[in-house]
Chain A
Amino acid sequence: MEKNEKKSDLEATPHPRIYYYPGCSLMSTARDLGDSLFQMARLVGSWLEELNDWNCCGASPAHSVNQNYALLLAGRNLVLAERQGIRDLFVICPSCFVRLRTAEKTLIAEPDKNDLLEEAVGKRYQGSVRLRFFLEVGSASQMNVFREAVINPLKGLKGVLYFGCLLTRPEWITGFDVLPYEDELRSFVEALGVETLDWGYGKQCCGAHLALTKPDHVDTLVDRIRDHARRVGANCMISFCPLCQVNMELRGKNSEPLPVFYVSELIGMACRLPRTEKWIRKHLVDPRELLAEHNLL
Chain B
Amino acid sequence: MQVDRSFIREVEERSGQRFGACFHCMACSGGCPVSDIMDYLPNQIVRMMQLGLRKEVLESRAIWVCVGCYSCVSQCPNRIHIPYMMDALRELALEEGVKIGEPDIWTFHREFLKQVDKRGRVYELEFMARYKLSTMSLFSDMGSGMKMLLNGRLELFPHTVKKLHEVRKIREVCYGKK
Contacts and interface: CB of A to CB of B under 8 A. Distances in A.
B120 A55 contact: yes
Contacts of B40: none
Name the residue in B14, B151, B162 with the highest tally of chain A Cβ atoms < 10 Å from its Cβ.
Answer: B151
A61 B108 contact: yes
A272 B167 CA distance: 41
A177 B138 CA distance: 44
A143 to B, nearest CB: 27
A64 B90 contact: yes
A226 interface: no
A204 interface: yes
B33 interface: yes
A243 B36 CA distance: 21
Contact of A250 (B144, B155, B161, B172): B144
A64 B107 CA distance: 12
Given A27-B155, A65-B113, A282-B152, A55 B161 contact: yes
Contacts, number: 162
Given A68-B174, A69-B174, A76 B166 contact: yes
B55 interface: no
Interface residues of B, number: 60
A281 interface: yes
A217 B37 contact: yes
A207 B34 CA distance: 8
Interface residues of A, number: 56
A44 interface: no
Given A24-B121, A55-B116, A213-B102, A60 B170 contact: no
B90 A214 contact: no
A128 interface: no
A61 B87 CA distance: 10
Contacts of A197: none
A67 B116 contact: no
Contact of A120 (B69, B124, B173): B173
Contacts of B94: 65
Contacts of A63: 68, 87
Contact of B173 (A29, A32, A72): A72
